[in-house]
Chain A
């Protein structure tokens, strides 16, 4: 059974600081997804990582995937308040199968 673990689960940081969220998963997969969820809202797609060594960046967020280590990271650079949200990683088992989600990281960026 595929298990996905995120850490930290809660992250409070100051504006302007950098931090990394980690996502570990238990079985082989080449596809990993990062989502953002605002309170009361559904999931917003941030990144799709499709191969080992994939790196994608959008604004202050950068995601990477190491399939050998079964690890993905979401790096936040110079955080701003607007980044406050819950971030989920999700791993695809086989192509087209369900996603297995991590527990989510609740990020709060303080002025």
Chain B
């Protein structure tokens, strides 16, 4: 099956700092990457969609200057949370798609203090 690696699993950072989350598709090429955010006891909410080599498309209400997405290769995408605030604390999950259905990363628990 499709194997996805997401790092880090958890991170604690201070307000105002930036955090980078990496998502790798290990045995397939992901032409599209979806990034989701999940708050406690809620469902997954799509933040943005990116295609390799193109700028990401952000969902309404998601600040593109705050959540920087880089999808420079077919096996790696990164999400950088810039100038993090406590309200950015959440569970972030990547979902690379490349013809093998929908496999999700293991998620990153971000806590901003």
Say how far A6's CB is from chain B's closest CB, in angstroms: 9
- Contact of B61 with A by CB under 8 A: no
Query: A90-104 interface mask toward B, CB cutoff 8 Å, 1 = contact, 0 = none?
Result: 101000101101111
A45 to B97, CA, bound (A): 14
Q: Which chain A residue shows the least CB distance to B6?
A: A42
The B interface, classified by DSSP as helix, strand, loop or mixed, is: loop
Say how far B101's CB is from chain A's closest CB, in angstroms: 6
Query: A62-98 interface mask toward B, CB cutoff 8 Å, 1 = contact, 0 = none?
Result: 0000000000000000000000000010101000101
- Contact of B76 with A by CB under 8 A: no
Q: Which chain A residue shows the least CB distance to B97?
A: A96
Give the size of the chain B interface in residues (CB under 8 angstroms).
Answer: 22
Q: Is A48 in contact with B107, judged by CB distance below 8 angstroms?
A: no
Partner of A42, one of B42, B43, B106: B106
Give the size of the chain A interface in residues (CB under 8 angstroms).
Answer: 19
In the complex, chain A residues whose CB is within 8 Å of the CB of B103: 45
In the complex, chain B residues whose CB is within 8 Å of the CB of A101: 43-44
Say how far A1's CB is from chain B's closest CB, in angstroms: 11
In the complex, chain A residues whose CB is within 8 Å of the CB of B32: 96
- Contact of A25 with B by CB under 8 A: no
In the complex, chain B residues whose CB is within 8 Å of the CB of A42: 6, 93, 104-107
* Residues 17-49 of B contacting A (Cβ, < 8 Å): 31-32, 34, 41-44, 46, 49
Query: Which residues of chain A have a CB within 8 Å of any CB of chain B?
Result: 33, 35, 40-43, 45, 48, 88, 90, 92, 96, 98-99, 101-104, 106
14 contacts between A and B (CB under 8 A): A35-B104, A40-B109, A41-B106, A42-B104, A43-B44, A43-B93, A92-B102, A96-B31, A96-B32, A98-B46, A99-B95, A99-B102, A101-B44, A106-B41
